[in-house]
Chains A and B, each alone.
Chain A
Amino acid sequence: MSAELHTLGVAELARRLQARSVSSVEATQHLLTRLEAAAALGAFLHTDAELALAQARAADLRLSRGEAGPLTGVPVAHKDIFVTRDAPTTAGSRMLQGYRSPFDATVVARLGAGEDAATPGAGMVTLGKLNCDEFAMGSGNENSAYGPARNPWDVSRVPGGSSGGSATAVAAQLVPAATGTDTGGSIRQPAAFCGVSGIKPTYGTCSRWGMVAFASSLDQAGVLARSAEDCALLLSAMSGFDARDATSAERPPQDFHRQMLAPRAAAGAARPLEGLRIGLPAEFFPPALAHDVEAAVRAALAELQRLGATLVDVSLPRTELSIPVYYIIAPAEASSNLGRFDGVRYGHRAAQYTDLAQMYRRTRAEGFGAEVKRRIMIGTYVLSHGYYDAYYLQAQKLRRMIAEDFQRCFAGCDLIAGPVAPTVAWKLGAQDADPVQSYLADIFTLPASLAGLPGMSVPAGFGQAGLPVGLQLIGNYFQEGMLLHAAHALQQATDWHLRRPRGAS
């Protein structure tokens, strides 16, 4: 019985916990043993068995008293970009080594024990904190100050990033679901590279309170899990208005699981997606798209068509421009956000300095890694006197044009689909020579990020060397229910999302 607990997704494990056929302590202990044995994958930066088991016992008590919610007792792990009171938070940076937050991020509190007695949380059990690129800047998890995470499908390859530890842990079945954050693709791309499902909701859906800030107008929390259904369950519990985040969307709580299950008006049993129009932007299928990725994506699209969806041609003419636009706006916001790391109130401080100015310069030189410094330099430059209009303001104008392009598309379709990334996962170290070139690989995830639209990565089979490929689905604002519905329909008809890497079964 216990031998297979790691193979259960969130929904199935929750069912067994509710039926009391398995206890949270059993599930937690099983996964703790398993993740310890898988330490070489580099998925976790911190675990605390004692704390997790105490939470599991509390969950079992709630379950026995009939006071449990739908997720109570199910283990989860958090990207180490969410601050946690009971565990250190590093954001993958040397700057925050040993940092202890005085409070929990809203997302952590809502999935866990809750914010206070009046607002109980979902009661999930936190197994630990997950590896990520430093301050979520990267797409391979190679920019972590604590070593890379490895792709369970081929440990010589990257899991993607920046939520690389989250994708690795879910794919290797060390945890049924994990939180992630997505600024320019940091949930969708690692989900694609590791063959798991990942959703980044509409900007403003999840509170950014307690998320270590990278680019505040782009950062959004989401979920990586083994199915669209599991994503829906977590997203419902962690989202919702939070007055402490100035950009939190003022909407009533959403039941994404119910929205996912709601049948479409024209649907039949064999054609659940009847009437759904899926737009394919020509720009998402350029000559540079790897053939294996294109073949897998086209096969998944054919499956959606078989389920009743109609494929229509649309255009996002500024897709390529989204790269410079994003890499101006995100570093500009990052250079401002990371100004707080001055070695005074928290974090690293240099040991040797002669005055305050040198203390700042050395502290930041020692605390930040190469990619973070690069982006701080870019951001500082584009915001500096004489360059602001030409770069930053121009990028913000193009950002609006990109967002308007999407609205023109949605006049003729309900969802937009394409690949998540131009290739499958690359080898560790393959992009060391020219870090700026790696920015180009973010081309398909950046447009939805700039527009603030919800996006998903759904497993779509396999490309070269048996590596996973992700299908990207993009919805209009607050259309997470439609995204999840389409992804769920695909997963009811195919088994790509159920395949596991060898050694993780």
Chain B
Amino acid sequence: MALTPQDVRRIAELARLELSEAEQSATLAQLNGFFAIVEQMRAVDTSGVEPLSTPLAAVQEVALRLREDAVTERDERTANQRSAPAVDDGLYLVPRVIE
């Protein structure tokens, strides 16, 4: 099943990536090349196999650790905002979204 130019535009929109016309056609060819490699995987019978989402779960019980619901971090707003593209008075600035 080959991807279409519409698929590429839809994925790019979902991924919030602006792609030029040239990038779109190159991406289409590469994704189709990639999914040709993937086809062999889809044919394997995996019925009854549990998905493995974290590797150690292959050999042992893995439970998510929980901690006390307590404040553990210091206020480091200034340091955290040092690399922000646009801040004002401790707030992150973005384009207006509500008129």
Q: Give the B-binding residues of A (Cβ under 8 A).
A: 98-102, 202-204, 217-218, 243, 246-247, 249-250, 320-321, 323-325, 327-328, 335, 342-349, 353-362, 364-365, 368, 373-374, 376-378, 380-381, 384, 390-391, 393-401, 403-404, 407, 434-437, 439-440, 450-453, 477
Residues of B within 8 A of A217 (CB): 53-55
A-B pairs with beta carbons under 8 Å apart, 5 shown: A243-B65, A247-B54, A356-B97, A398-B46, A436-B34
B70 contacts the other chain (CB 8 A): no
- With contacts A335-B15, A361-B17 taken as known, whether A348 is within 8 angstroms of B46 at the C-beta atoms is no
Residue ID in chain A nearest B52 by CB atoms: A400
Contact B59 A477 (CB under 8 A): yes
CB distance from A359 to the nearest CB of B (A): 6
Residues of A within 8 A of B59 (CB): 403, 407, 477
Contact B55 A384 (CB under 8 A): no
Contact A364 B41 (CB under 8 A): no
- With contacts A324-B37, A436-B34 taken as known, whether A344 is within 8 angstroms of B18 at the C-beta atoms is no
CA distance A380 to B76 in the complex (A): 33
Residue ID in chain A nearest B15 by CB atoms: A380
Contact A381 B11 (CB under 8 A): yes
Contact B58 A452 (CB under 8 A): yes
Contact A398 B41 (CB under 8 A): yes
Residues of B within 8 A of A450 (CB): 55
CA distance A266 to B58 in the complex (A): 31
Contact B56 A477 (CB under 8 A): yes
Residues of B within 8 A of A325 (CB): 41
Contact A100 B14 (CB under 8 A): no
CA distance A368 to B18 in the complex (A): 11
Residues of B within 8 A of A358 (CB): 18
Residue ID in chain A nearest B44 by CB atoms: A398
B40 contacts the other chain (CB 8 A): yes
Contact B83 A346 (CB under 8 A): yes
Contact B83 A99 (CB under 8 A): yes
Residues of A within 8 A of B12 (CB): 377
- With contacts A321-B41, A374-B27, A390-B42 taken as known, whether A397 is within 8 angstroms of B92 at the C-beta atoms is no
Contact B17 A324 (CB under 8 A): no
Contact A377 B11 (CB under 8 A): yes
CA distance A498 to B12 in the complex (A): 48
**B52-85, CB < 8 A from A:** 52-56, 58-59, 64-65, 67, 76, 79-80, 82-85
**B1-43, CB < 8 A from A:** 3, 7-8, 11-12, 14-19, 23, 27, 30-31, 33-34, 37-38, 40-42
CA distance A98 to B82 in the complex (A): 10
B89 contacts the other chain (CB 8 A): no
Contact B14 A380 (CB under 8 A): yes
Residue ID in chain B nearest A380 by CB atoms: B15
Residues of A within 8 A of B31 (CB): 374, 377-378, 381
- With contacts A321-B40, A343-B85, A435-B30 taken as known, whether A400 is within 8 angstroms of B50 at the C-beta atoms is yes
Residues of A within 8 A of B53 (CB): 217, 396
Residue ID in chain A nearest B86 by CB atoms: A349
Contact B94 A344 (CB under 8 A): yes
B95 contacts the other chain (CB 8 A): yes
Question: A346-B83, A362-B18, A401-B49 are known contacts; what are 10 more A-B pairs with Cβ within 8 Å?
Answer: A323-B37, A324-B41, A328-B41, A348-B85, A374-B30, A380-B14, A397-B51, A397-B52, A399-B51, A452-B56
CB distance from B53 to the nearest CB of A (A): 6
Contact B41 A359 (CB under 8 A): no
Residues of B within 8 A of A394 (CB): 41-42, 44, 46
Contact A364 B92 (CB under 8 A): no
Residues of A within 8 A of B94 (CB): 344, 356, 359
